[in-house]
Amino acid sequence: MKPTNTDVTPSPTADAALAHPREARCQCRSDHRSLVLLAADLADAYPELTAFGVEDGWRVYPRLGALRVELGSGRRFSGASDLVGYLRGVLDEHRLEGLRAAWIARNLGVEDQLDRLLHAGPLLAMAPADSSPLLGILRERRLETWYQPIVSAVDGSLWGYECLMRGRDADGALVFPDKLIAWSRQEDLTFLLDRVCRETHLRNAAAHLAAGDAQILINFMPTAIYDPQFCLATTVAAARAGGLDPGRIVFEVVETEHVADLGHLKRILDYYRRSGFRAALDDLGSGYSGLAMLGDLDPDLIKIDRHLIARAVGSPIYRSICASLAQLGRDHGKLVLAEGIETIEERDILGGMGVDLFQGYLFGRPAPAPAAPLRP
């Protein structure tokens, strides 16, 4: 059965972005990224590609075996799909499969972004011959909000809900976030998925959670936001249109391990806060970057990583780590949420450390409509 919370009407600006996703992508980025093509023996194995690149104004880096391609509005190729379409008529399939590619920031030199080149993947993975169903899911409004309750660690009462994205394929089968995100990266549409998801969550929250004071957590991927004032304007407008108090909404940074520009992320959070929202960091303790970000970004809410919590059950060392994180939050006036709580033992261990909030299957699984939390 199709959940009723998908019957929401995107704003005209969202409709325009879905009608012309490539143009919207370039507007959102202000053309802030370039594509670097890499290959072993580039000059010898791909002479025609190198010659075309020089003719078209691409930057050539012989020592790195790399070509820097500018894509986007006003360029010969609007995106990776256009580029691959051209290359299919120039290169044989074997050599096309040998090309790797990586997105880099346009305002920095290649030499300053070598770490991104080290993580380059197959060019064809960015623009396969058969496109994914993602754009159809977005255009046909088959993106849904599923709600998972968050409860007070003191008495188990409802504190709020995390809004989680789900999709439906053309046959109505559920599509989970990992698949949606993989498709968005494949199609270079992460910015559009992230934006439509944020706006959809806010509209659905306005329909289901306007009454009462339940807090609303919404994830966002900072790497999908290029200019906060431009890219987040529709998000702020969606919250206002739904009559939601911004103070009830917490925007949660996910995939912190992919954040290379901490200053950019801070500008995003500052924009949210100036608009009256709050900010959270996900998976605290999952790596050094998360701990460093806690000091640099000063979030309102921090989430202790579920993998740490699972290990804390059988390990005194991991229990000490979790207890230290909980104490750190208390010392600095931050709400601390223990996520992924699945057992009563985990609840009791983390509750004894003084965390403020619990989230996990023990209190409720994600569902297409907000439900009262379980009371184990």
pLDDT of residue 315: 95
Q: What is the pTM of this model?
A: 0.72
Q: Which residues pair with 162 in a beta bridge?
A: 148, 217
Tokens standing for residue 110 = 């290649």
| Short-list 331, 327, 355, CA closest to 341 | 355
Contact 214, 175 (CB under 8 A): no
> pLDDT tens-digit profile of 195-231?
999 999 999 999 999 988 999 999 998 877 777 887 7
Residues 21-28 have a mean pLDDT of 52
Domain with CATH 3.20.20.450 in the chain: 134-359
Quick check: 174 pLDDT over 90? Answer: yes
- Burial label, 286 (beta-carbon count in 10 A; 0-12, 13-18, 19+): middle
Tell me which fold the domain 134-359 belongs to.
TIM Barrel (3.20.20)
| CATH code for the part of the protein at 31-126 | 3.30.70
pLDDT-derived band at 12 (thresholds 50, 70, 90) equals very low
Query: 81 - beta bridge partners?
Result: none
Q: What percent of the chain has pLDDT over 70?
A: 86
Residues forming beta bridges with residue 35, ordered by sequence position: 69, 103
CA-nearest of 70, 11, 7, 62 to 40 is: 62
For residue 267, which amino acid is it?
Answer: R
* From-to residues of CATH 3.30.70 in the chain: 31-126
| Residue predicted with more confidence, 272 or 261 | 272
